[in-house]
Amino acid sequence: MALQTLDIIRRSATTTPSPGQRQTQEVVKLIDVSKCIGCKACQVTCMEWNDTRDAIGTNHGIYDNPTDLTENSWTVMRYAEVKTDRGLEWLIRKDGCMHCADPGCLKACPAPGAIVQYSNGIVDFHEENCIGCGYCITGCPFNIPRLSKKDSKVYKCTLCSDRVAVGLEPACAKTCPTGAIVFGTKEDMLFHAEERIADLKSRGFDKAGIYNPQRVGGTHVIYVLQHADKPEIYDGLPKDPGISPQVSLWKGAAKPLASIALGLGILGAFIHYVTMGPNEVSEEIEKEFKDEK
Amino acid sequence: MKNDPKKLLRYTPFERASHWLTGITFILLALSGLGFFHPFFYPLCQLFGGGTWTRILHPFIGVVMAVSFGVEFFNYRQLNVMTPSDWEWLKHIREMVAGDDRNMPEAGKFNAGQKLLFWLLAICMALLILSGIVMWRAYFSFLFPVALIRFASVVHAVAATIIIALIIFHIYASIWTKESIRAMLYGQVRRAWAKQHHPAWFREMTRGEK
């Protein structure tokens, strides 16, 4: 979805600058897992605001519902029952797009303008430019984008770019009844996170910390985790996610260089032709078969 | 068009048809694939009706090429077995490129360069088909872990670059060696041409004559 057009800092499959005259403040959605009660209000309000409706699924015997992100469910609560040094803990994580500073989806996308990054840090899909190749799914370190079977376009959390553009907070942050989801400038959110971590540490969570993975340049959705040393216990939150080296190789400097090499190959062939001349039948052999011409 | 009895049959109608089917599908695949290769080439997607149509069509054209290349592969694989004389031929490749073929070992129906090209194309095609299946998001990607899809994406791009380079070489060689495009278009070659470029094949074809 697009509202802003003057504050794009990166645009998929585009090698020239994007309209980025306007500089906006970098924003962050801070999700404090320790405050989450798993009520799923954020899931409901996400569907309400974005007007997406998932098909009614089946009960899998666990709280996760739906059990995974879909093209209609851009955020889901993941419930993990984990034994820690504090006993049995119920760790509930709101999953969805992390809005990486260095987005693997955008890097992988071959369609110009199908994925953009605003100067406020939001990574947004412009589905009208999407061609449905699924390269963003290949590029994403967090397994977030989902391809729709209905229209073969990919969908994911927009961080309510439409709301943020007009000065509102994302719908999930607005609705969260415990204040587990808060939204603001990156600076404010990091400050707030420090307060939360200090509070958690004072209550015995020695390893409390933020989840703001640096190999993707940091994210614009940041978690406060009680056990920041073990993010994987939060239903498989990757420990040190980054854009895969294979994706970097696939989408990096190799391709322009290969393109130039192919161009030089054609030029080289032409030069060979005009310097060496064609490879023809010799006069000698032509004479031998004179009667057959 | 009547066959000229003095000329030698180099490619049967079936061989010509499968060659050009492979050739046409290759061109379509290269153009559509380049569209996703780098943003610079994205406008090529317009030739196929835009990005989405290109994304839909590319793998299906790939299936056609896989079949027609497969037919050619099984048709030609025995003729392309490298012999000691072929390795000798490759040692003299510099002279050949310089346009002097007097010291080249005698080539059969295919010379060592053509044989080497054949095997390199076959390797690239195998890699492209396998990696292409893994990348085919609409029908197959969901079967594979993302790490394999990433690997396949790299393999597909590398193999595509190599095969395009090989085909540039192949097309140029046919332009450089006069009358060889006619051979693949109409099937027949002059005896003089055969003796010049494929002397061993020439003798084989004319054995018992004269």
Domain ranges of chain A: 8-249, 253-292
Mean residue pLDDT of chain B comes to 94
Asked if A168 reaches chain B (Cβ–Cβ under 8 Å), the answer is: no
Distance from CA of A105 to the nearest CA of B (A): 12
Task: Inspect the interface and report whether the beta carbons of A137 and B172 lie closer than 8 Å.
Answer: no
Cβ separation B138–A132 shorter than 8 A: yes
The H or E element containing residue B177 is: none
Which listed residue (B58, B156, B170, B197) is catalytic? Answer: B170
Residue B4 domain-assigned (yes or no)? no
B61 and B130 fall within a common domain: no
B170 is catalytic: yes
CB A147 to CB B99 under 8 A?
Answer: no
pLDDT in tens, chain A (293 residues): 456 678 999 999 999 999 988 889 999 999 999 999 999 999 999 999 999 999 888 888 889 999 999 999 999 999 999 999 889 999 999 999 999 999 999 999 999 999 999 999 999 999 999 999 999 999 999 999 999 999 999 999 999 999 999 999 999 999 999 999 999 999 999 999 999 999 999 999 999 999 999 999 999 999 999 999 999 999 999 999 999 999 998 998 889 999 999 999 999 999 999 999 999 999 999 998 887 65
Residues of B in contact with A288 (CB under 8 A): 192, 195
The domain spanning residue B151 has which CATH number? 1.20.950.20
Q: What is the pLDDT of residue B108?
A: 93
DSSP string, chain A: -----S-EEEETT--S--S--S----EEEEEEGGG-----HHHHHHHHHHT--PPP----SSS-SSSS--SS-S-EEEEEEEEETTEEEEEEEEES---BSS-HHHHH--STTSEEEETTS-EEE-GGG-----HHHHH-TT---EE-TTTS-EE---TTHHHHHTTPPPHHHHH-TTS-EEEEEHHHHHHHHHHHHHHHHHTT-TT-EEE--GGGT-BSEEEEETTTT-GGGTTS--SS----HHHHHHHSTHHHHHHHHHHHHHHHHHHHHHHH--B---HHHHHHTGGG-
User: Which residues on chain B are in Cβ contact (under 8 Å) with A243?
Assistant: none
Which one of A143, A250, A275, A288 would you mutate to disrupt binding with B, by most B Cβ within 10 Å of its Cβ?
Answer: A250
CA of A57 to nearest chain B CA: how many angstroms apart? 20
Domain boundary among B77, B110, B137: B77
- What is the pLDDT, as a whole number, of residue B1? 46
Which residue segment(s) compose the domain that B66 sits in?
9-77
Q: What percent of chain B has pLDDT over 90?
A: 92
Q: Helix crossing, B146-176 with A254-276: angle to 10°?
A: 10
Query: Taking the domain A8-249, which CATH number applies?
Result: 3.30.70.20
Pair B141, B113 in one domain: yes
Q: Chain A residues with CB inside 8 Å of B166's CB?
A: none
List the one residue out of B180, B130, B138 whose CA is nearest residue B155.
B130
Q: Is the pTM of this model over 0.90?
A: yes
Domain boundary among B77, B93, B123: B77
Q: Are residues B170 and B73 in the same domain?
A: no
B61 and B100 share one domain: no
Measure CB to CB from residue A262 to each of B154, B165, B175 and give the nearest one.
B165
Query: Within this chain, do residues B65 and B100 fall inside the same structural domain, yes or no?
Result: no
- Considering the domain architecture, whether residues B196 and B136 belong to the same structural domain is answered as yes
How confident is residue B8, by pLDDT bands cut at 50, 70 and 90? very high
B67 and B95 in a single domain? The answer is no
pLDDT higher than 60, residue B2: no
Considering its fold, how many domains does chain B have in total? Answer: 2
pLDDT digits (tens, 9 = 90+) for B77-128: 999 999 999 999 999 999 999 988 888 999 999 999 999 999 999 999 999 9
Instruction: Give how far B151 is from chain A: nearest CA, Å.
Output: 6
Of B77, B103, B124, which residue constitutes the final position of a domain? B77
Does the residue B181 lie in any domain? yes
Nearest to residue A154, comparing CAs of A80, A211, A226, A97? A97
Same domain, B132 and B42: no
Give me the residue from B45, B192, B197 closest to A286, CB to CB: B192
In a domain, B3, yes or no: no
Residue A116 CB burial class (10 angstroms; 0-12, 13-18, ≥19): buried
Q: Determine the residue among B57, B140, B149, B174 to mutate to test chain A binding: the one whose Cβ has the most chain A Cβ atoms within 10 Å.
A: B149
What ipTM describes this predicted complex? 0.92
d(CA A41, nearest CA chain B) in Å:
30
Diameter of chain A by CA atoms?
104
Given an 8 Å threshold on Cβ–Cβ distance, is A138 in contact with B146?
yes
Residues of B in contact with A14 (CB under 8 A): 39
Report the run of H or E that residue B92 belongs to, with start and end: none
* Closest chain B residue to the Cα of A243, Cα to Cα: B150
Predicted local confidence at residue A197, as pLDDT: 97
Residues 69-108 of A with CB under 8 A from B: none
Indicate whether B176 and B199 sit together in one domain: yes
> Residue A276: its chain B contacts at CB < 8 A?
97-99
> Between A and B, how many CB-CB pairs are < 8 A?
132
State how far residue B178 is from chain A, nearest Cα, in angstroms.
6
Beta strands in B10-167 (DSSP E): none
My answer on whether B54 and B112 are in the same domain is no
Confidence at residue B208, expressed as pLDDT on a 0 to 100 scale: 64
The answer to whether A137 faces chain B, any CB pair under 8 Å, is: yes
Same domain, B199 and B123: yes
Q: How far is CA B48 from the centre of its chain?
A: 23
Question: pLDDT category, B161, cuts 50, 70, 90?
Answer: very high
Query: Are B19 and B68 in a shared domain?
Result: yes
